[in-house]
Each structure stands twice: as structure tokens, then as C-alpha cells.
Amino acid sequence: MGGILNIPTCIYTALNLVVLYFILKKLLFKPVSEFMEKRANSIREAIDKAESDKLEALEMKNKYDKELKDVKDKAQKIIMEAQEKAQLEYEKIIQKARDEAEKIMEEADREVERQRIENIKNVREEIVNLALEAASKVIECNMDTKENRELVNRFIDERIA
Amino acid sequence: MEEFVNELQGLMKSNKIIEINLFGFDLSITDSVVVMWIVMAILIVLSVVFTRKLKTIPEGKQSIVEVIVEFFNNFAKDCVGEHGKLFVPYIGTIFLLLIVSNIIAVFNIIPSGEDLYNLTHWEFFENWNFAIRPPTKDINVTLTLALMSMVAVITAGIKVKKVSGWLKSFLEPEPLILPFKIFDYFIRPVSLCFRMFGNILGAVIIMELIYFAFPAVLPGFLSIYFDLFDGILQAYVFVFLTSLYIGEAVE
């Protein structure tokens, strides 16, 4: 056994392992692990940020969609209101025009009536004059007195009526 | 034939490369230690080269080193559990050390001292007896590594559970189990040590026999199994068991 067991080799091996442990820890494991962790963190952050950005964008989209819908509704309402108002105005104008036309027609009727009455009156006057003149010619005297005029008028009224 | 037997026996002994005597203590450096230094130098140089200028988007050598470190991270997480991160440097260090140590015989390109002496007739080469063989074929190395692993296991237990918690873990789940738990701390390093030592020394001896019997072609194929596959497998087993022990200690 004495030939195989070699204490210095054991001591050197232990020292080698300890030294290698610290050197590799400092040169290899620590920097690479830290670097990879840092990268993993930065990737995680980027993904989280993208996710939150996406959510925010979606929220914004919903908001804008809602706003757009509101605006459309509003526009629709305004158009409807305007149409209603226009209809009302239209009807009002038509009504007014109709009224006016009726008034004009009435006035025209009244004018025609008045004219007619005047004409009748004129004709009657003429007839009275003519009758009285004829009667005067017949009896050769003036019969154009107030009483006779009344008489003839009454007569004509009776005939016309 | 007798010469060959001597050579095989020589494989089991450590060759003193540099003799040092300090205050009456023998501190001679053996070939296992020298090869370990070579392995360490390879690992340190590769670490420096591979971790230079880390970029966010890995490319080339950086992806290799990231895969390796990620492998150790996952390995530690799987075997040790939640505290795994703490032990990644230790697990990774012995893993890399063992893998490179176990397979370094593949790179044994140094001619034997005998050949060099025959070639040059320099006095220096007459006693030159250095070949790159796995340092893990030396029981002193595997024994030390196994003991260091047990030190790591104990340190891990105390670090995570504090001294009182660690001592209490000897009585869980049954106080009756105490002798076995204590026994564990002797059995485990011995099994770690001899498994590695036996496998690697066995592979080295078998390869030596094959070189003796069939000097060309065949050793190349068998070397893939005995030098590469067995070496990596044993390194994996050693590290896997160590991390299981650590995981049990911090549980």
C-alpha cells in the first residue's frame, strides 16, 4: 500500500481542485451565468413591455372604436333632426302658401262679386233711366221724380227677385 | 512478457517527475499532478478564450460556452434542487476537470522516453518517463477528489441548514438511522474513489494490452470506447452522485 498511496499527490490534487474551482468560478461560471441571467431578464422585460403595449393599444383601439361609434351616432342624430326640421319647415311653407292662395282666391271671389253687384247696379240704373226716359217720352212729361224712381226700382227688384 | 508485466505494474505507481524535499517532508511532484496541471491550463485558457466579448446574440464559441454553462445550471437544478445554483461552480469544475482528465490520454502524443533515447541518445531521456495518462488512474487523485466532494457535501449541508440543522439531519427520519448516516460519509467517498479509479485504470490497462497485441487500426476504434466514452461516462457518474449527495444534504 505504501507504494501506491502518495500523500503529496493528494495534497497537490486538493490544492489543484481548490485553485481550479476559484479560477473557473471567476472566469467561466460567474460571468457567463450573470450574462445569461441579465439577458434573460432583458428579454423578459421586453416581452412584458410588448405585452403591456399590446394591452394598451387594444384599450386605445376600443376607446377609439367607441368614440367613432359615438360620433357616428351623433351624426346620424343630427341628420335625422335636420331632416325632421326640414320636413316641418316644408310643411309650414306649403301650408302658408296654401293659406295665401286661398286668401287670394277669396279676395278675387269677393272682387268678382263686388264687380258683379256693381255691374248689376249700373245695369239697373241704366234700365231705370231707360225706362223712365221711355215712359217720359210716352207721356211727354217728365216723370223723373223721386217717387217714380222709387217705384221703378221696387218693380225691378220684384222682377229680379 | 515480463517486461510488459513490469510496465503494467508501473502504470499503477505514480512516477516522480520533480523530486522536492522540504523540511524532511517528501513533496515530490508525480506525473498525475503534472497532467492535472496541463488539464487545468487547458481549462483556464479555454475559459478565458471562450468568455471574451460576450454578446447578447450568441454566435460561434459563445454559444458553445453558453450551452455548457446552461447544462451545468440545469444539471444542478435537477440533482440538487432549489439551492442548485449555489453549487454550479463546484459541480461544473469537477465535471470539466474529470472529463478532460479522463479523456486526455487521447492526446498522448509525447513519445516514450525509451524511443526518444534510441532516437537521440541524450542522457536526459534515459530516465525520462512521462506520458500523458489520465490523472484519474491514480488512486491518490480519485481519493482526494472523492474526499473533496464529501467536504463539499458537508459544507453544502452546513451552509444551507446551519450547523444545528445539519446535525439534526443525522437523526431524521429515525434516530435509529444515525449509525448508517455516519457510515454513509465513509462509504460514499470510498465508492466514488474506487469506481473512478478502477474504471479509468482498467481502461488504461486494456488499451495498453490492445496496443501491445494490435499496434495499428484496432486501438483507434477501441480507444473511442475506453478512452472517450468510458471517461465521459465515469466523469458524469462521479458528478451525478456528488450532486445527488449535495441535494440530499441540503434537502
Check: CB of residue A13 under 8 Å from CB of residue B36.
yes
How far apart are alpha carbons B25 and A117 in whole angstroms?
A: 165
- Residue B127 pLDDT exceeds 70: no
In one letter, which amino acid is B91?
A: I
pLDDT score at B30: 83
Domain-by-domain residue ranges, chain A?
Answer: 7-160
List the single best residue of B9, B18, B40 to mutate versus A (max A Cβ within 10 A): B40
Distance separating alpha carbons of residues B123 and A157, to the nearest angstrom:
182
pTM of the model: 0.71
Q: Do A29 and B72 touch (CB under 8 A)?
A: yes
Which residues on chain B are in Cβ contact (under 8 Å) with A35? Answer: 54
B67: chain A residues, CB-CB within 8 Å: none
Residues in A touching B137 (Cβ below 8 Å): none
Give the residues of chain A that fall short of pLDDT 70.
Answer: 1-3, 142-143, 161
ipTM: 0.84
Other residues' Cβ atoms within 10 Å of the Cβ of residue A50: 10
Least confident of A89-93, B25-29, B71-75, B205-209: B25-29
Flag whether pLDDT at B233 surpasses 50. Answer: yes
Residue B248's pLDDT band, with cuts at 50, 70 and 90, is confident
For residue range B129-184, list pLDDT tens digits in order: 677 888 888 888 899 999 999 998 898 889 888 888 888 888 877 888 888 888 88
Residue type, A31: P
The answer to whether residue A14 neighbours chain B at the CB level (below 8 Å) is yes
Cell matching residue B35: 497532467
Q: Indicate the average pLDDT of chain B.
A: 83
